[in-house]
Amino acid sequence: MTPKFRSIAIAASLLLGASAVAQAQSTSGNIAGEAVTGETIVVEGVDNGFRREVRVDQDGKYAIRRIPTGVYVVTRTRADGSTGQPQRIEVHAGVTVRLK
């Protein structure tokens, strides 16, 4: 084996190994959906204490990114303060959960 070929083989091995490690470290997902403008979407983790609120944009769409994997309860709060039926969802790594 020539030194040049060996260097290329080592570099290729390192790059492939690094990409596999980066893929394995993905521990978050996303939630996206549509609602009425002015509503607030609240996401609360069942077991991990995570909580995030977003206000729905003028186009009626929302997205919550980088949510740790796990089980969550999503609640929609209307502009008048009333809340909709909570939804229980599960977030998986690298996946976007779409709600209506």
The pTM of the full predicted model, rounded to 2 decimals, is 0.72
Residue pair 67/28 in contact (Cβ under 8 Å)? The answer is yes
Sign of the torsion angle spanned by Cα atoms 20, 26, 31, 32: negative
pLDDT, position 94 = 94
- The superfamily in CATH containing domain 27-99 is Carboxypeptidase-like, regulatory domain (2.60.40.1120)
d(CA 7, CA 54): 50
**Mean pLDDT of each 10-residue bin along the chain, 100 residues long:** 69 63 71 95 96 94 95 96 95 94
Q: Which burial class, exposed, middle or buried, applies to 40 when counting CB atoms under 10 A from its CB (0-12, 13-18, 19+)?
A: middle
d(CA 63, CA 73): 15
